[in-house]
Amino acid sequence: MELLDLTFLGTAGSAPTARRGLPATLVRCGGDRLLFDCGEGTQRQMIRSVGLVPVDCVFVTHFHVDHFLGLPGLLKTYGLVGRTEPLRLYGPPGLRQLFGDLHPVIGRTAFDVVLTELEPHESVDRDGYRVEPYAVEHGPRAYGYVVAEADRPGRFDADAAAALGVAEGPDFGRLQRGEAVTGTDGAEVHAEQVVGEARRGRKLVLTGDTAPCELTRLAAWEADVLVHEATFAEEDAARARETGHSTARAAAELAASATVLLLALTHLSQRYPPTLIEEEARALFADTVVPRDFDTIEVPLPERGPPKHVHGGARERTTPAS
């Protein structure tokens, strides 16, 4: 899996604004498309940016309506455009009850909707990466999610292999897979002689709604990107604590302590100008961005540089809707 990026479809808090939709973030992992939360109007935000792409999985952080109310419309539209492949939905315990309550609205779909209730740290294993929920501080059933790529094999030193008498060809591949081979002189050559240490996989953390908490700091340790809510400015820190939300400053403190590469602040309230939120966070953690709807963050392999925030990046790769 080389491709890894995020598209911000909705970056507002509990109420949409003229320029910001309700919470929804699309993550591309190789050929997979993962949607984290699906606020009201998410399908419209998709159409305005990347197109009505076929999402593989939806991960719901919690059951406040601003985080899931876009699902009925998205499911119905997928049916109208002829989707047949299953859609997998994950969330905290209570997901099945939620969909039971929504059944009169959604009705039957032409494709399977597979519901899975996750316990904290119950990993969803995908091709080359995993998605793992952890409990955050926003009520009893609220999750953040870690998207973690598997470690990659170390670099293969072809010159060293040749010097040890290994012929170029299938034996090179066997060494890269960790197998031992026999050189032209009859000596056994082991992978550790020609393959470097494993290279770390990339990691994203999306908190959903939460007060800053130790589990987020642990989950985000040395993450490439931490997407953290910033519903309040520091002047309203008491209100943030009362409601299980975060200030921009507190999110920045957490990002600094977790040594993440890039902090992206979302779930913005219309109480404050985005520049205030950005300045408050950057005073403590310089590598902070406040994405607008349809911005992207590209996450290259670590040896190719740090994550890159691209203003309006989603519009540059629009796929026409069916």
Together in a domain, 172 and 262: no
Q: Residue 278: which domain range? A: 4-152+199-317
Task: Tokens 């170029």: give the residue.
Answer: 168
Summarize pLDDT for 168-184 with one digit per residue, the tens. Answer: 889 888 888 888 988 88
Q: What percent of the chain has pLDDT over 70?
A: 98
Active site residues: 66
Amino acid at 237: A
- Mark whether 113 and 169 lie in a shared domain: no
Strand partners, 89: 58, 115
How far, in Å, CA of 36 to CA of 128, rounded? 19
Q: 143 and 12, same structural domain?
A: yes
Whichever domain contains 92, its CATH number is 3.60.15.10
pLDDT score, position 164:
83
pLDDT digits (tens, 9 = 90+) for 30-55: 999 999 999 999 999 999 999 999 99
CA dist., res. 109 & res. 93, Å (int): 23
- How far, in Å, CA of 317 to CA of 29, rounded? 16
- Co-location of 168 and 147 in the same domain: no
- Is 243 found in the same domain as 164? no
Q: Is residue 322 part of a domain?
A: no
**Contact criterion met (CB below 8 Å) for 294 and 48:** yes
Q: How many domains does the chain have?
A: 2
Mind giving me the DSSP string for 180-215? -EE-TTS-EE-GGGTB-PPBPPPEEEE--S-B--HH
Q: Are residues 142 and 259 in the same domain?
A: yes
Residue 318 has pLDDT above 60, yes or no: no
Give the pairing type, strands 262-266 and 4-10: unpaired
Considering the domain architecture, whether residues 181 and 47 belong to the same structural domain is answered as no
Rounded distance between C-alpha atoms, residue 171 and residue 35, angstroms: 41
- Higher model confidence: residue 160 or residue 231? 231
Same domain, 263 and 291: yes
Q: Which of 169, 193, 217 corresponds to the end of one domain?
A: 193
pLDDT in tens, 175-224: 888 889 888 888 888 888 878 777 889 999 999 999 999 999 999 999 99
Residue 317: per-residue pLDDT = 64
Considering the domain architecture, whether residues 310 and 163 belong to the same structural domain is answered as no
Do 64 and 125 have their domain in common?
A: yes
Cβ proximity of 201 and 299 under 8 Å:
no
Give the whole-angstrom CA distance, residue 51 versus residue 148: 26
Residues 229 and 269 in one domain: yes
Contact 261, 228 (CB under 8 A): no
Alpha-carbon gap, residue 146 to 36, rounded angstroms: 11
Based on the fold, state whether residues 120 and 61 are members of the same structural domain.
yes
Q: Which runs of E-coded beta strand occur in 3-154? A: 4-10, 24-29, 32-36, 57-59, 87-91, 113-117, 124-126, 129-135, 143-149
